Chains A and B, each alone.
Chain A
Amino acid sequence: MLETTALPRKATLYPQLDTRYQVETPEGIDLPLRPAGLMVRALAFAIDLGLRGLILGLLFIGLAFLGKLGAGLGSLMLFGVSWWYMVLFEVLNQGRSPGKQWMGLRVVQDDGTPVGWTASLLRNLLRFVDMLPFGYFLGAISCLQHPTFKRLGDLAAGTLVIYREQPLTRPQLPEAQPVRPAFALTLSEQRSILGFAERQGELSESRTLELASILAQPLQVDPPRAVAELNGIARGLLGPA
């Protein structure tokens, strides 16, 4: 989270274009969640739909051998799979139906806590309205106009579909001699320089050079030396390993 620390200028600063949703915890910490948009949710739903079809198909083939008993069981299964599949997975598998799991999503409450029985039941019952009048029309409209992409069921149940946190790997900082910067850095400048050093492994060499040369003048070095200088400052900020 880079807060804007630029000096006030005449032109107003627009808030960053950002879909992150901040949950403020009772401890006074802001936890950023990343709500998932329409497309990825539609894909997750398509996967779930296919999977449900497959389950029902296999069950019916199996139950056909059981005759009358099978028909009764089949009705119960159809009921269970069509109304309870999502609820059971969401509550018992940490907010993830198989489709959501595949697409890296999960359902949480508005305050970032795991989704419970009543909320999950509610959001999945109201799916019926989201599907009206055809093919998730109302749900899609609601999802597209809402800042955190909620469909009607999410609005009523107070739930949110977010991207799951992926495990992070420690980035390798480039080797450099620690340097003390020539002037005091603001917090966001400090974070930017550290970010530049941490992300260098993912950037091409020419892009690294291009980014660093923007800062060549304030750092009072030649553009080709700027990369090494910035890495040095980052090393200095980080401290001895």
Chain B
Amino acid sequence: MKQSLFEQRHKAEWEQFSLMLDQLEHGKGASRTGDFPKDYRRLCQHLALAQERGYSSFLIDTLQQLVLRGHQQLYRHRSRLGANVAGFILAGFPRLVREQWRFVLAAGLMFFGSLIGFALLVYLFPDLVYNLIPAEQVGELQSMYDPVAGHLGRTTERAASEDWVMFGYYIMHNIGIAFQTFASGLLLGLGSAFFLLFNGLMIGAVAGHLTHVGYGQTFWSFVIGHGAFELTAIALAGAAGLQLGWALIAPGRLPRAEALRLAAGKSVLLICGVMLFLLIAAFIEAYWSSMTAPKPMTKYLVGAALWGLVAMYLLFAGRARHAPE
């Protein structure tokens, strides 16, 4: 068959297919989507015929563009996360954390180990803090948590609008740190390990120092509530980063690039959960932790309850399978 005859016969079909693609690409429900796969496969056949019969480049390129657009519509990946947010929060995320327990354990040990270890060291040998944090910053921190001043975290009693300022700041700062901790895991896991240890040491130094100078009450009652979510989230972000690095170090029977791609697909889901945790943490930090009205004892109890909640969630949520998933 000559090219011009071929074009004449199928031109109308191609134009109609192109119109349907326009509608689909702009997110409108096209009228006859039921026929789409059939039309697409027919177009593929036309392209194969055109190539096999040596038709001109113009025709083949045009058909190829149509097939590419059709391919993108027919085979596009549906986002697993967007479709099933509730299922992910209720079951998917804690399940994923338990599935990756080795990395979570390693990251947790690095982060909480360095935090608690260095806090104890600074408490016992107070001068150590100056090795890590410059003296003027230590002074600033001290004035922030001074119990005589009678307020928490900042130098003046905060109004509601200021809580809002801090909410924005915490989100930016904390999620930024979590993202860094995760992404630098691509450097064979070394970056994640560095950020985990570094942040652990810093927080440990501050905690140890403030407890040593006798500001423990204000400090611990301030941090215990949101710490449950915030510190866990940083450790989980580190775990996701370590997973990336481990895929490069020990890819198993896959090529390294493939192993990395698979590990990355899972770890990015972990990061989505981490973002959720940090949002909750920023909310608690801005609106609950900064309140001065509740007694420290109340804060400790609420804080302990929150830690328990996080632990229960990660350990037990989603163990039993329910129908709505």
Contacts and interface: CB of A to CB of B under 8 A. Distances in A.
B268 A118 contact: yes
Contact of A113 (B55, B76, B81, B82): B76
Q: Specify which of A29, A75, A112, A197 lies most central, judged by the most chain B CB atoms within 10 Å of its CB.
A: A29
B271 interface: yes
A112 B65 CA distance: 12
Interface string A107-120: 01101111011110
A28 B57 contact: no
A215 interface: no
Nearest to A156: B264
A152 B186 contact: yes
Interface residues of A, number: 64
A165 B65 contact: yes
B171 A76 contact: yes
A72 B215 CA distance: 28
A71 B54 contact: no
A219 interface: no
A195 interface: yes
Contacts of A171: 58
A31 B171 contact: no
Interface in A145-199: 152, 155-158, 165, 168, 170-171, 185, 187-188, 190-191, 194-195, 197-198
Contact of A128 (B58, B179, B257): B179
Contacts of B182: 125
Contacts of B161: 67-69, 72
Contacts of A102: none
B183 interface: yes
Contacts of A68: 159, 161-162, 164-165
A56 interface: no
B186 A129 contact: yes
Contacts of B4: 238-241
Contact of B172 (A31, A75, A116): A75
Interface in B24-74: 25, 40-41, 44, 47-48, 51-52, 54-58, 61-62, 64-65, 67-69, 71-72
A209 interface: no
Contact of A237 (B3, B62, B82, B269): B3
Contacts, number: 169
Contact of A76 (B64, B172, B179, B260): B172
Given A25-B71, A113-B75, A194 B56 contact: yes
A40 interface: no
B321 interface: no
A239 B53 CA distance: 13
B2 interface: yes
User: Which of B76, B78, B167 has the largest count of A CB atoms less than 10 A from its CB?
Assistant: B76
A113 B168 contact: no
Given A114-B76, A129-B187, A129-B191, A157 B271 contact: no
Contacts of A74: 168
B71 A156 contact: no
Nearest to A121: B268
Contact of A238 (B2, B61, B184): B2
Contact of A156 (B186, B191, B272): B186
B54 A116 contact: no
A184 B269 CA distance: 59
B44 A198 contact: no
A155 B180 CA distance: 18
Contact of A75 (B171, B180, B271): B171
Interface string A60-97: 00000001110111111011000100000000001000
A112 B79 CA distance: 16
A53 interface: no
A76 B265 contact: no
B253 interface: no
A72 B168 contact: yes
Nearest to A33: B68
18 contacts: A27-B40, A33-B68, A68-B161, A72-B169, A75-B168, A79-B168, A83-B179, A109-B77, A112-B68, A132-B187, A156-B186, A165-B65, A168-B61, A191-B57, A194-B54, A238-B2, A238-B4, A240-B2
Given A78-B172, A152-B186, A198-B58, 20 more contacts: A26-B75, A28-B44, A29-B44, A68-B161, A69-B164, A74-B168, A75-B165, A83-B179, A117-B81, A126-B183, A126-B264, A128-B179, A129-B187, A187-B54, A191-B56, A194-B54, A195-B56, A197-B56, A198-B56, A241-B4
Chain A to chain B: the 4 pairs with minimum beta-carbon distance, closest first: A239-B2, A75-B168, A72-B168, A194-B56
